[in-house]
Amino acid sequence: MSAGMSAAAGAAPGAAPGTATGTATGSGRVGDSPRRVGGHDRVTGLQRYVADLHLPDELHARLVTVPVARARIVTIDASAAERVPGFRFVMTAADLPQPMPRFGPQFRDRPVIAVGETKYHGDPVAAVAADTRDAAEEAAGLVRVDYEELPAAFTVAAALDPAAPLVQDPSLRPNDPLVGTNVLREHRVGWGDVEAAVADLVVEQRYTFPMVTHFAIEPHAYIVAPDGDGIAVWSSIQHPNWLQKVLAELLRLPLSKVRVHSPDPGGGFGGKQHTKYEPLVAFMALRAGRPVRLVLTLEETFQAVRRAAAEVRVRTGFQSDGTLAFQDIEANYLIGAYADIADRVVGKGSYPGCGPYRVPAARILARSVLSHTVPSTAFRGFGNPQVNWAVESNLDEGARALGIDRLELRLRNLARPGEAFIPFDTPCDGQWEQSVRRAAELIGWGRPLPAGHGLGIAVGIKSGPTTGLSYATVRLLVDGSVIVFAGTSDMGQGARTVFAQIAADELGAPLDAVTVVMGDTAIVPYDQQTSASRSTVLMGNAVLAACREIQGKLRAMAARLHGLDEATVMVDRGVVRLPERELTILEVLVPGLGRLGGELIGNGEMRKDAEPDHPLGGSAAFFEFNCTAVEAAVDEETGDVTLVHYATVSDVGKAINPLQVRMQDEGAAIQGLGHTLMEHYIFDESGRIRNLGAIDYRIPTSLDLPLEIVSEHVENEDGPGPYGSKGMSEGALLCVASAVGAAVRDATGVAIRDLPLTPERVWRALQERP
Amino acid sequence: MHAFSYERPATLARAVALLEAHGPEARVLAGGTDLIIRLRDGSLAPTVVVDLKRIAELEPGIREADGRLVIGATTVMTDIAADARIRRRFEALAEAAAVVGSVQIRNRATLGGNICNASPAADTAPALLVHGAVVVIAGPSGSRRIPIDGWFVRSGVTTLGRGELVTAIELPLPAAPMGSVHLRRTRRRGHDLASVTLCCGVDASGVTRLAYGSVGPRPVLAVDATGVLADRDAAPDARTGLLERMLAEATPSARSMRASPDYRLAMLRVLARRGVDIATARLAAAEGRR
């Protein structure tokens, strides 16, 4: 980016626009809970999100869509739009390179803008650029699109119908045996012989999970500016390096000419992982020769990101003592019109579908079913909550049929430490029974309850990252202060604070003397991605390795200064240990650097390589494990569900910042209550989203929370991350629905197998109760 | 947002003249909690917006006069919900005002706006019906008053004529104690639009007034003057039959995605039964205090 633009862009003094920095305050050794780095700015409105940034001469873009899902685009007439004062240009497929550039993290199936036909309600057919946002909006509303509505598929059943219209153009899937269907891929995992397995009881049921959206509070926003012979990009993105690669390929630029600024997102939850409208805005900026910005409305965000809906059939075999005999799972995930990362979600989310149990025989079949709906993508839990809802609910059915306590049944089958519960994957890496027993204790499992109340307990498990690559650079400055460069995106999960605590602890710096720099691909070393609860483990280890490299230099420095053999000097958690005494880091650093001063630089790399023969391309770096227990009260006249007590316990290895761990688990629980109790997309017969926006798509508010939430965690320092930590923050979402559904079942005697458990759905089930 | 001209008259007469001149092309701005949303989403595109907030005669406020409580049309929900006189004597209205939108909305949304917007789900409408409110209107030919049960025509439509605007809502102060309550159904406990809203008022003479909304094109008032509904010793069948007749005007739309018609009707009955019980209990408590 040019110096002129940097100076004029109105960013905070000393920082390029969007280059977010943060300084920790308070004491903050590892295991403390200092105030969140950047937290003050986040809650007072000082933090500058992408939508808060403005560049000189910028144009405002607005999208043009049609009010149906699938339509043939006949003509696009912008003549009325052109008369709006401030109108600059309209961009359609015809204005883009031919053939239409396509992109996508798994399949290159997504066009920069709809070409020929729209595939879902919200698929943009044109974009207008104007001098102001109001002018762009006015002009976008005046672009006349003549279209012909086409047959479409919005449900699993409709999409799997042999006569269904194909969502994806067959030419995009050469040599694919499934090309004539809407099944993008099938994922099969299993072990043992399900057909031969003998069981005393077999329970088979079908469960459904709704289509929901992430609802990040920060709008998705994109700014692209021509920058010398390259481009500068600002995006509320979780994976800036991946975006950089996508744009470099589409625009045929060297990576070094695509500079991605990714200011800390205001919530991501997976929805901000992958490229969406950045290519469109980039082509518009290059056409305009000036910066172009696009800030999505909440309604447009609903049309950009969502979680896959699912229909899951589970057949579980039990022995009469509650021992599991087999699991037979078929999960049809309804993904959207473009693959995005959805097929990976299906494969990885269904893979640990049998749960953290000893299952002698397992068969899991999961399908990615394309449909004419919003492309589904990563969403906290990554495909696991859908299958968990089905499998955990089915275990309850079995326990009830066998007359075995539901907690007891889980404990009886739970994998023990070191047990290869998925035969070809990382063995059980925690004392999981501790979490289950603690959650049961917190909810008072087994106590007598008032009429209309019920208890539920469920466990969830998720594979951590299967591959990873994170680099970190740490600079120890001459006054003992520290700068950490880490390419993680801190979207609210608290990664800045965790890295600052690690560096502060290792280098003996006060936490408020540590600055963490993120969010600029021209400055910060490469990081593969911020996803799968990986950053504390993978980037945390990279930061730790960088600190250790500096410690090595300090060791050599101390040996030199004191005429000692280097082997007799130790540097450990901020202290330099000589044979006879201890020195502070500064007592070595200042004389060691000498008159010219300077600094010590350490680089760290954390790599988890792919395993080509593994079903997921790699074994789990760790497992996220959670147990949730709930007491629910149901108003039988209205169907209202009140969560009276709620306990969530996660196995986190080591809590580097216990308060942040608790906040993540509480946040995950509350987010999970959305799909459990109230959230779902509603479509009309044309595939138009009827509840588009906050008025008719309801998320939990503070008044909808359980009357009491208790969040605890188990720490045995048995994880692969710094100090024995494991990744966390998705775990507590995995089994929310399963635990709540079980409590509602316990309170009413009625099993409801479709989510969300709206009052009307519960009331209806009670009406139909025999 | 579509461009419009903005007028901020200083007098009621000027506002009436503007509204008369522009007719349906003009929209009134008070709290703006309905108008701004509809300007933004494009479902309204007036050529002129008339802001009432600087009109001296329309200062917000609640006062007692001639046996009535007079609530200025621009009085916001927060102030209505907090007013001691309303909480004591018109409890259903205080409860209704306290659940409109969110805290921020209630700090802006006005009572006049709530009835002029005439949503079938308007939270204050059933309470005003139960309490026998009178709408005070200013217009080109002067001032007029109409009872609230002649006000709502259908969704978004009232009996307000061209050039007219609401200046106040009056509540006759009841001579004898009354127990009243506002209940509603929403999809969640946090701020939401009602899928059924209901008020019940029972007075010392045994008259029960039930008003309900969001189950048809306009809120409905039904009165039991026989005293049967409020009489706990009356035959259950008689009370049930009476309640059924009082709720018979409910015609919920099948097109709504907020709740199905059968669920709305079932919940209307639940709320009505609970409403009668609560209002009766409150009446007894009020009589006990006397």
Cα distance between residue A264 and residue A492, in whole Å: 8
CB contact under 8 A, A698 and B187: yes
Cα distance between residue A136 and residue A295, in whole Å: 12
How many Å lie between the alpha carbon of A282 and the closest alpha carbon of chain B?
Answer: 26
Cα distance between residue A679 and residue A697, in whole Å: 6
Query: A299, A233, A248, A304: which is closest to A272 by C-alpha?
Result: A304
String of DSSP letters for A191-245? ES-TTT---SEEEEEEEEE-------SSPPEEEEEEETTEEEEEE--S-HHHHHH
* Residues A525 and A624 grouped into a single domain: no
CB contact under 8 A, B263 and A763: yes
CB of B4 within 8 Å of any CB in chain A? no
- Within A425-562, residue ranges assigned H as helices are 432-443, 495-507, 538-562
The beta strand positions in chain B, using DSSP E, are: 5-7, 26-29, 48-51, 62-65, 68-72, 134-139, 142-147, 152-154, 157-158, 165-172, 178-185, 196-203, 208-213, 220-224
CB of B185 within 8 Å of any CB in chain A? yes
Residue at which a domain ends, from B119, B143, B172: B172
Q: Is residue B56 part of a domain?
A: no
CB contact under 8 A, B188 and A702: no
Cα distance between residue A122 and residue A136, in whole Å: 17
* Residues B185 and B165 grouped into a single domain: no
Cα distance between residue B93 and residue B286, in whole Å: 17
Residues of A in contact with B36 (CB under 8 A): none
CB A559 within 8 A of CB A566: yes
How many Å lie between the alpha carbon of B252 and the closest alpha carbon of chain A?
Answer: 15
CB contact under 8 A, A695 and B257: no
- pLDDT per position in chain B (290 positions), as tens? 778 999 999 999 999 999 999 999 999 999 999 999 999 888 999 999 999 999 999 999 999 999 999 999 999 999 999 999 999 999 999 999 999 999 999 999 999 999 999 999 999 999 999 999 999 999 999 999 999 999 999 999 999 999 999 999 999 999 889 999 999 999 999 999 999 999 999 999 999 999 999 999 999 999 999 999 999 899 999 999 999 999 999 999 999 999 999 999 999 999 999 999 999 999 999 988 76
How many Å lie between the alpha carbon of B188 and the closest alpha carbon of chain A?
Answer: 7
Residues of A in contact with B196 (CB under 8 A): none
* Residues A411 and A288 grouped into a single domain: no
For residue A27, name the pLDDT band (cuts at 50, 70, 90). confident
How many Å lie between the alpha carbon of B100 and the closest alpha carbon of chain A?
Answer: 14
CB of A696 within 8 Å of any CB in chain B? yes
| Mean pLDDT, range A84-101, rounded to an integer | 97
For residue A10, name the pLDDT band (cuts at 50, 70, 90). very low
Tell me which of B189, B198, B271, B277 to substitute to probe the interface with A (most A C-beta atoms closer than 10 Å): B189
Cα distance between residue B258 and residue A217, in whole Å: 23
**Nearest CB to B189; choose among A141, A691, A704:** A704
* Residues A515 and A568 grouped into a single domain: yes
If one counts every other C-beta atom within 10 angstroms of the C-beta of residue B118, the result is: 22
pLDDT at A12 over 60: no
- The residue behind tokens 């049967």 is B228
Q: Is residue A12 part of a domain?
A: no
Distance (Å) of CA A754 to CA A23, A499, A739, A767, B289? 46, 41, 14, 16, 50
Cα distance between residue A298 and residue A295, in whole Å: 10
Domain span holding position B212: 178-289
CA of A759: which chain B residue's CA is closest?
B187
What residue type is assigned to position A57 of the chain?
Answer: D
Query: A467, A409, A495: which is closest to A729 by C-alpha?
Result: A495
**Nearest CB to A638; choose among B189, B191, B267:** B267
**Nearest CB to B192; choose among A141, A682, A698:** A698
* Residues A661 and A563 grouped into a single domain: no
CB A512 within 8 A of CB A25: yes
Q: Is residue A241 part of a domain?
A: yes
CB of B258 within 8 Å of any CB in chain A? yes
Residue at which a domain ends, from B31, B50, B69: B50
Cα distance between residue A192 and residue A355, in whole Å: 16
CB of A702 within 8 Å of any CB in chain B? yes
CB contact under 8 A, B187 and A137: no
Radius of gyration of chain B (CA): 19
* Residues A232 and A330 grouped into a single domain: no
Q: Is residue A481 part of a domain?
A: yes
Residues of A in contact with B33 (CB under 8 A): none
Cα distance between residue A700 and residue A669, in whole Å: 11
Q: Give the phi and the psi of residue A324 in degrees, each rounded to 5.
A: -75, 135
CB of A145 within 8 Å of any CB in chain B? no
Q: Is residue A20 part of a domain?
A: no
CB of B190 within 8 Å of any CB in chain A? yes
Number of domains in chain A: 3
> Within its chain, how far is the Cα of A655 from the centroid?
20
Cα distance between residue A130 and residue A122, in whole Å: 21
Strand A599-608 versus strand A468-477 pairing type = antiparallel
pLDDT at A413 over 60: yes
Percent of chain A with pLDDT over 70: 97
The pair of structure tokens assigned to A583 is 């020195």
CB of B191 within 8 Å of any CB in chain A? yes
Q: Is residue A340 part of a domain?
A: yes
How many Å lie between the alpha carbon of B129 and the closest alpha carbon of chain A?
Answer: 25
* Residues A546 and A456 grouped into a single domain: no
CB contact under 8 A, A704 and B190: yes
What CATH number does the domain containing A322 carry? 3.30.365.10
For residue A92, name the pLDDT band (cuts at 50, 70, 90). very high
Three-state secondary structure call for residue B208: strand
CB contact under 8 A, A702 and B190: yes
Mark which residues 25-44 of B lie under 8 Å from A by CB.
Answer: 42
Residues of A in contact with B40 (CB under 8 A): none
Residues A244-253: tens digit of each pLDDT = 999 999 999 9
**Nearest CB to A760; choose among B188, B189, B259:** B259
Residue B135 pairs with which residues in a beta bridge? B146, B169
* Residues A288 and A322 grouped into a single domain: no
Number of domains in chain B: 3
**Nearest CB to A703; choose among B190, B258, B260:** B190
* Residues A318 and A403 grouped into a single domain: yes
pLDDT at A1 over 70: no
CA B198-B201-B204 angle, to 5 degrees, is: 165
CB of A763 within 8 Å of any CB in chain B? yes
The pair of structure tokens assigned to A286 is 């290059």
* Residues B73 and B168 grouped into a single domain: yes
Strand A324-334 versus strand A361-369 pairing type = parallel
DSSP state letter for A153:
-
* Residues B182 and B276 grouped into a single domain: yes
Mark which residues 42-81 of B lie under 8 Å from A by CB.
Answer: 42
Average pLDDT over chain A, rounded to whole? 95
Query: A468, A548, A552, A451: which is closest to A506 by C-alpha?
Result: A548
Residue at which a domain ends, from A591, A608, A625: A608
Q: Which pLDDT value is given to residue A7?
A: 33
* Residues B40 and B122 grouped into a single domain: no
CB of B257 within 8 Å of any CB in chain A? yes
CB of A701 within 8 Å of any CB in chain B? yes
How many Å lie between the alpha carbon of B44 and the closest alpha carbon of chain A?
Answer: 14
CA of A683: which chain B residue's CA is closest?
B257
How many Å lie between the alpha carbon of B288 and the closest alpha carbon of chain A?
Answer: 31
Pairs of residues, one from chain A and one from chain B, whose beta carbons lie less than 8 Å apart: 43
What CATH number does the domain containing B282 carry? 3.30.390.50
Residues A462-506: tens digit of each pLDDT = 999 999 999 999 999 999 999 999 999 999 999 999 999 999 999
If one counts every other C-beta atom within 10 angstroms of the C-beta of residue A740, the result is: 29
For residue A17, name the pLDDT band (cuts at 50, 70, 90). very low
CA of A762: which chain B residue's CA is closest?
B263
CA of A642: which chain B residue's CA is closest?
B189
CB contact under 8 A, A638 and B270: yes
Q: How many CA atoms lie within 13 A of A407 on its CB side?
A: 22
* Residues A438 and A505 grouped into a single domain: no
CB contact under 8 A, B190 and A763: no
Q: Which pLDDT value is given to residue B15?
A: 98
CA of A141: which chain B residue's CA is closest?
B42
* Residues B211 and B257 grouped into a single domain: yes
Q: How many CA atoms lie within 13 A of A132 on its CB side?
A: 7
Q: Is residue B55 part of a domain?
A: no
What residue type is assigned to position B194 of the chain?
Answer: A
Q: Is residue A201 part of a domain?
A: no
If one counts every other C-beta atom within 10 angstroms of the C-beta of residue B59, the result is: 11
Residue at which a domain ends, from A579, A608, A637: A608
Cα distance between residue B64 and residue A406, in whole Å: 63
* Residues B264 and B227 grouped into a single domain: yes
Q: CB-based contacts of B281: which residues, under 8 Å, 6+ apart?
A: B179
CA of B271: which chain A residue's CA is closest?
A638
Q: Is residue A36 part of a domain?
A: no
For residue A3, name the pLDDT band (cuts at 50, 70, 90). very low
What CATH number does the domain containing B33 carry? 3.30.43
CB B184 within 8 A of CB B91: no
* Residues B217 and B247 grouped into a single domain: yes
- The residue behind tokens 């945390």 is A540
Q: Which pLDDT value is given to residue A249?
A: 98
CB of A700 within 8 Å of any CB in chain B? yes
CB of B187 within 8 Å of any CB in chain A? yes
* Residues A419 and A535 grouped into a single domain: no
CA of A764: which chain B residue's CA is closest?
B263
Asked if the ipTM is above 0.90, the reply is: yes
pLDDT at A14 over 50: no
Tell me which of B188, B196, B255, B277 to substitute to probe the interface with A (most A C-beta atoms closer than 10 Å): B188
Q: Is residue A598 part of a domain?
A: yes
* Residues A285 and A342 grouped into a single domain: no
| Mean pLDDT, range A130-158, rounded to an integer | 97
pLDDT at A18 over 80: no
Stated as kind and residue range, the H or E segment containing A637 is: none
* Residues B183 and B217 grouped into a single domain: yes
DSSP state letter for B110:
B
The sign of the CA dihedral A418, A420, A424, A426 is: negative
CB of B267 within 8 Å of any CB in chain A? yes
Cα distance between residue A386 and residue A209, in whole Å: 6
Mark which residues 613-642 of A lie under 8 Å from B by CB.
Answer: 637-638
Q: What is the largest CA-CA distance in chain B?
A: 62
CA of B258: which chain A residue's CA is closest?
A696
Exposure class string for A200-233: b at 16+ Cβ within 10 A, else e: eeebeeebbbbbbbbbbebbbbbbbbbbeebbbb
Q: Give the phi and the psi of residue A226 in degrees, each rounded to 5.
A: -60, 140
* Residues A251 and A395 grouped into a single domain: no
Q: Which pLDDT value is given to residue A15?
A: 38
Residues A582-606: tens digit of each pLDDT = 999 999 999 999 999 999 999 999 9
Question: What count of residues does chain A have?
Answer: 770
CA of A704: which chain B residue's CA is closest?
B189
CB A419 within 8 A of CB A426: no
Radius of gyration of chain A (CA): 27
Q: Reply yes or no: is the peptide bond before residue A756 cis, omega within 30 of 0.
A: yes
Domain span holding position A252: 59-150+219-264+271-302
Residue at which a domain ends, from A565, A584, A608: A608
What CATH number does the domain containing A132 carry? 3.90.1170.50
For residue A22, name the pLDDT band (cuts at 50, 70, 90). very low
Q: Which pLDDT value is given to residue A13?
A: 35
The sign of the CA dihedral A738, A744, A749, A753 is: negative
